[in-house]
Amino acid sequence: MLTLIKFDLKNTWFKIALYCGVIAVFTLLSTYFWSASFEGFFDDTNFYWVTIFKLGSLGVTGAVCFICLIMTFIALAQWFAQNLFAEEGHFMNMLPISKIKLFLSKVITALIWNAAIIIFIILCICFFLLFGDRFAQINDVASDLMGGSADSFHIGYAFVQISALFICHCTAVTVLAYTSVCLGQLVDIGKNLLVLVGFLGVGLAELIISVMLAYVLGVFNMEGMDTVSGILSYFGSTCIKMSAVSVLNCALTFALGSYLISTGLNVD
């Protein structure tokens, strides 16, 4: 199993490293645009240009991060299809390993790379916030809003919660893509169409399950949100609950994909 995971990581690391590099470059550019040295190029009459560059750099960097997450998802799905159902699939299916283990190794690889790129994005955000004492400014503002309690808000804890939620959700979406690829291999004609229909159909089922579980877990209960502390408490509990929902969806989709791949799908 470890050999399979190492094989998958070895064949997918370059694209992930490339996406992280792109994110790093745009983070450095945003940090520069928010620096005092950049503001020095403008006089007081052109202060609005500084604002445009600042806000624009954040918007572009955020869009780049989102695109890189999508590209990570696409790269992993392409590797899954290439390794198990393209020419390499003939060799992989001859290995004395259960097909469920082949599927599981791809899921673990997706978990590792999703965690890696999301944690990298969080580190880039921390890098940006470290300049100009922005960490302290955020905590001071939150503390003032919450009655001056210095321990009422911890941005690091918020980052951990957000990271866990995104890692779980992105991994669930990747496993959904894997299962959709398996569905496409059920037919010889119209595979791409069936992959798309499967992705949308199973994704809709996951969405319905998520909404139902969110309702049962009280995610839609907005009581206590009339204060900042109540909002932060709601945010934290919601991240934990929805992370658990994503894990459950991931497990259900993995079970479906495992069943499909164990039935002996077509290999191109």
pLDDT mean for each 10 residues of the chain (268 residues): 85 93 93 76 66 84 94 92 77 76 92 94 87 63 54 66 91 93 83 89 93 89 70 82 93 92 70
- Residue 102: per-residue pLDDT: 87
* Rounded-to-10 torsion of CA 196, 200, 205, 206: 100
In angstroms, rounded to a whole number, what is the distance separating the alpha carbons of residues 109 and 118?
14
Query: Are the C-beta atoms of 29 and 57 separated by less than 8 Å?
Result: yes
Q: Please state the domain extents for the chain.
A: 2-262
For 87, counting Cβ atoms within 10 Å of its Cβ (0-12 exposed, 13-18 middle, 19+ buried), the class is: exposed
- Residue 165: per-residue pLDDT: 92
Output the DSSP codes for 42-62: S-GGGHHHHHHHHHHHHHHHH
The model's pLDDT over 60-110, given as tens digits with 9 standing for 90+, comes to: 999 999 999 999 999 999 999 888 877 766 677 677 778 888 899 999 999
